[in-house]
Amino acid sequence: MPYDPLTPRSPGFLHQVPAFLAGDDTPRDLLERCIAVIEARDSEIQAFVTLNLEGARSAADAASARYAAGNPLSPVDGLPIGLKDIIETADMATQCGSPIYEGYESGRDAPIAAALRRGGAVIVGKTASTEFAFGAVTATRNPFDLERTPGTSSSGSAAAVGASMLPVAIGTQLMSSVMRPASYCGQVGVKPTYGAIRQAGIHPFSPSGEHVGAHASTLADAWAVLRFLSNEGGPEPGFHGINGPDTPPAAKKPARLMRMYTPGWQIADSDVRAAFEAGLDRLSNAGVEIVEPAGVPALAALEDDFARAEWCISEIAAFEMRWPFFEYEAAGHTHHPRIATALARAHEMTLTDYHSALDFKAAFGDRLLGVGGTIDGIVGLTAPEVAPVGLDNIGHPVMCAPATCAGVPSLTLPLLAAHDMPLGLQLVGFHGQDANLFAHAAWVEDLLG
């Protein structure tokens, strides 16, 4: 069936909470509805690598009892959720998409898994990840077309939410691994400000660039989960968490949005371009000023930075992956060519090379911060294409890399379509202003949805 962004999506988890409190529904009933979809669809989609349905049912029963008593633990109490399989869980193996870790059990929860359990969330299973969230792809398929990729490393999380198996799943992003799969699989995807959510217990690749993010049916669910994780699991040590209200931020109209091109615009086809232009026209007609970067020197300089973001992320990642990948290599392990190429660069890099990339990243961040008084944010495509045909063709990260490189919050909304497939609209905010980005996104969603 062709994807239609105007077709109502799943109402999400928070929408169910009043019914839980009224006794008209329960977290256990919601879980069973999710399990029914998993049983019906996951044999073909393969979003999960591990399920713990017994543990999930036990957690859902405990949440149901708390709601019946009018005493839920947190905003995520009873939420069915999946975790990308590079995140440690005490009750399930963490296999990182690699034969090196086949069947590996650490015996502990990562801080975000522990926080979810303390809040009463229902961890249903581990979702598929590419090899160490970077290399060989999984067998996971796009829920809207089984012949197409679900996207890059957070593929299982995106496919599970896109297929309505779960209202929320956790992913991680080094370059585009939350946002792009969310675009391809027709859902909300959010990458918060760098450091807002703790990364301990997550297999390292490039610690200074990795972000914990969320795939969600709704903006409200994404806000609830990410803010809870930032508060309960904590931010990265020494960093600020997500500030903002307990409830999702109220919709707020952005006044001026810079249009993002990046080199990705050159590879977008006519249908993709037309869908995006139509979205911009509707924003403009509603009174949002769309600012062309070419007419403002400071913004034009940012476009130059956007073009170098992939290089910067790759350079930093190559240096930071030395541990543990030099150890894997010494033990005789081999990897997919994407990892092998990065590893070859890791061997030849110098500390001066690493510093050069870090210096660019810092200067880019400063230039982006400097335009905060002239625009309210940035609008662009999340990916320059819909999900490509073929599981090995995972698409291009070029549109998402700038926000990741700068460490600023970004999100994608499933408000566009091309070639009968989902196409995400990306909004980028400013450092530490996650709540403001959500408020703008809520207004844009109300307008375009």
DSSP classification of residue 387: P
What's the confidence (pLDDT) of residue 358? 98
DSSP classification of residue 388: P
Name 80's bridge partners: 122
Query: How confident is the model over 40-66, as a mean pLDDT?
Result: 98
Query: How confident is the model over 171-179, as a mean pLDDT?
Result: 97
What's the confidence (pLDDT) of residue 200? 98
| Residue 4 structure tokens | 């239609």
What fold characterizes domain 256-448? Amidase signature (AS) enzymes (3.90.1300)
Q: Is 191 a catalytic residue?
A: no
In single-letter form, the type of residue at position 209 comes to G
Asked if the bond preceding 167 is cis, omega within 30° of 0, the reply is no
Per DSSP, helices labelled H in 286-399 are 297-320, 322-330, 337-348, 351-370
| pLDDT surpasses 90 at 293 | yes
What's the confidence (pLDDT) of residue 438? 98
Catalytic residue among 177, 206, 217, 314: 177
- Comparing C-alpha atoms, which of 86, 159, 1, 9 is closest to residue 151? 159
Q: How far apart are CA 311 and CA 337, in angstroms?
A: 17
* Reported confidence tier of residue 9, pLDDT bands at 50, 70, 90: confident
The average confidence (pLDDT) of the chain is 97
Q: For the segment 192-224, what is each residue's pLDDT rounded down to a tens digit? A: 999 999 999 999 999 999 999 999 999 999 999
Per DSSP, helices labelled H in 109-218 are 111-118, 155-162, 179-184
DSSP classification of residue 106: -
What is the pTM assigned to this prediction?
Answer: 0.97
- Comparing C-alpha atoms, which of 225, 389, 238, 405 is closest to residue 310? 405
Instruction: For residue 30, count other CB atoms closer than 10 A to its CB.
Output: 22
- Comparing C-alpha atoms, which of 137, 157, 152, 378 is closest to residue 262? 378
Name 155's bridge partners: none
Q: Calculate ∠ Cα 47-160-132, nearest 5°.
A: 50
The radius of gyration computed from the CA coordinates of the chain, to the nearest angstrom, equals 20
What's the confidence (pLDDT) of residue 220? 98
**Which helix H or strand E contains 236, and what residues bound it?**
none
Q: Is 54 helix (H, G, I), strand (E, B) or coil?
A: helix
Please check whether residue 141 is in contact with residue 45, taking contact to mean a CB–CB distance below 8 angstroms. Answer: yes
Catalytic residue among 84, 126, 191, 361: 84
Q: Is 145 helix (H, G, I), strand (E, B) or coil?
A: strand
Q: How far apart are CA 162 and CA 10, in angstroms?
A: 10
Catalytic residue among 153, 217, 230, 314: 153
| Residue 405 structure tokens | 């490189």
Please check whether residue 427 is in contact with residue 259, taking contact to mean a CB–CB distance below 8 angstroms. Answer: no
Please check whether residue 349 is in contact with residue 315, taking contact to mean a CB–CB distance below 8 angstroms. Answer: yes
Angle at which helix 219-228 crosses helix 434-448, to 10 degrees, equals 170
Maximum pairwise Cα distance, the chain: 62
What's the confidence (pLDDT) of residue 411? 98
Q: For the segment 384-400, what is each residue's pLDDT rounded down to a tens digit? A: 999 999 999 999 999 99
With 0-12 / 13-18 / 19 or more C-beta atoms within 10 angstroms meaning exposed / middle / buried, residue 295 is: exposed
Within this chain, domains 14-233 and 256-448 share the same CATH topology: yes
What's the confidence (pLDDT) of residue 2? 84
CA 237, 240, 241, 246 torsion: positive or negative? positive
| pLDDT surpasses 80 at 12 | yes
Q: For the segment 120-168, what is each residue's pLDDT rounded down to a tens digit? A: 999 999 999 999 999 999 999 999 999 999 999 999 999 999 999 999 9
* Reported confidence tier of residue 38, pLDDT bands at 50, 70, 90: very high
- Comparing C-alpha atoms, which of 281, 240, 446, 245 is closest to residue 379? 281
Q: How far apart are CA 351 and CA 319, in angstroms?
A: 8
What fold characterizes domain 14-233? Amidase signature (AS) enzymes (3.90.1300)
The domain spans of the chain are 14-233, 256-448
In single-letter form, the type of residue at position 229 comes to L
Q: How far apart are CA 441 and CA 189, in angstroms?
A: 11
What's the confidence (pLDDT) of residue 434? 98
